[in-house]
Amino acid sequence: GLAGLGALDSLELNNTAITGDINALSEVNALTQLRLANTAITGNITVFSDMLQLTELYAPGTMVSGDIAALSGLTQLNSVSLSQTMVS
């Protein structure tokens, strides 16, 4: 798992061959920037709701899904890109 990365504040995996469910990121809740564009990740965006320090979420061209309302409690969030996903 990613438990050892709990203090990580920035993760950029754009255009990589990474696959899997974004639930694996649930233990990395100190993130301020998360960039996963054009990867084969899947899962529901509710996992991001506990990332209270998140300021940037960039995940276009992924297979993430869910209701955008899941992000409503992220008061620090100032940049979101979820185009070409299954988020509604």
Res 2 pLDDT > 70: no
22 contacts 42 by C-beta, under 8 angstroms? yes
pLDDT digit string (tens) for 7-30? 899 999 999 999 999 998 988 889
CA distance 84 to 62: 7
CA distance 22 to 87: 14
pLDDT, position 74: 97
Helix (H) / strand (E) element for 41: namely strand 40-44
pLDDT digit string (tens) for 27-72? 888 999 999 999 999 999 999 999 999 999 999 999 999 999 999 9
Residue with tokens 């995940």: 59
Percent of the chain exceeding pLDDT 90 equals 84
CA distance 39 to 45: 15
